[in-house]
Amino acid sequence: MTAAMTPGKMRGLDTLATDEGVFAILAIDHRDSLRVVLPGEAADADIVQFKLDLLSGVGSIASGAMLEPEFSIPQAVQAGAISGNTGFFAALEAQGYLSDPWAGPTTMMPGWDLTDAKRMQASGAKLLLPFHPDRTEHAAEQVEVCRHTAARCAELDIPLLVEPVAFGMEGPDRRRIVVESVRQLTDTGLDVLKLEFPGDPDDPSGWADACAEVTATATKPWVLLSSGVTFDAYEQQLEAAFAAGCSGFTGGRAIWREAAVAELADRPAAIADLVVPRMHRLRELAVGSARPWRSV
């Protein structure tokens, strides 16, 4: 796989990975979903401040971050909240999909495109795709969105991470849905897959096989998102995923939920006492057992 990847894309992924070549990414590219979590009626400035607080407290532990241009990329750079040595994925998709994920194909953020991300020196681009293989017409549209975006990323020599999300999967059907989504998307030109956990949360006995099937189907590295589960559940899922060939994590609410819901005065303690130790723990787990992306 790495032989076919350009040096520019390889360099981008290296800046997002640890020295061991695994991903320990702090995911804070949330927008609409974050506004309803923060205390009170969160204004734009409140969202920005939360992201700056997280980056300042945790950014040096993460191998990279997942950001967006509305509330974090320019603000974090200007404030010095993200180190010049820390890479970041730049989100591309427009908001609004949560009201009806299946209304149509994914659209891009107004006033922001891959050229802007490249100009901001993003290490990679990230595209979230509502995707369910049983919705065949919608899935076909999303595959084309992915192909088009990947082709544009190739022109600009920037790696693309794609995040297919099925929304509301039932436990027993998770493996089939995730694996089939991987099968349809893995050869569209993307470089990394960010996936929901393929195992039934109520049946850990099948986790190893489910994760192994994802690895066998994917032709590119994959990382595991947290899907809003508890931290303990996410850690257990990561252990199973890493043992089966997953190349790291992009963790969001499972890592920083308590800091988001805390009152402003209590936020520093929540970050220091909960979020920082969690990031340390998951990074150590990834370094110790995840599969380096260059070996895929």
CATH number at residue 133: 3.20.20.70
More reliable by pLDDT, 31 or 288: 288
Containing structural domain, residue 178 = 2-98+108-288
Model confidence at 120, pLDDT cuts 50, 70, 90, reads very high
In-domain check, residue 224: yes
In-domain check, residue 293: no
> In 3-state terms, what secondary structure has residue 251?
strand
**Prediction pTM value:** 0.96
> In 3-state terms, what secondary structure has residue 76?
helix
The pLDDT score that the predictor gives to residue 3 is: 56
Q: Does residue 97 have a pLDDT over 80?
A: no
> In 3-state terms, what secondary structure has residue 65?
strand
Q: Does residue 145 have a pLDDT over 70?
A: yes
% of the chain beyond a pLDDT of 90:
89
In-domain check, residue 296: no
In-domain check, residue 230: yes
In-domain check, residue 103: no
In-domain check, residue 294: no
In-domain check, residue 48: yes
HSE (side-chain half, CA atoms, 13 Å) at 139 = 17
Structural domain count of the chain: 1
User: What's the pLDDT tens digit per position in 2-39?
Assistant: 557 999 999 999 999 999 999 999 999 998 889 888 98
Q: Give the C-alpha separation, 213 to 239, whole Å.
A: 16
In-domain check, residue 258: yes
Cα-based distances in Å from 78 to 59, 123, 271? 15, 17, 22
What DSSP line would sit under 253-268, residue for residue? Answer: HHHHHHHHHS-GGGHH
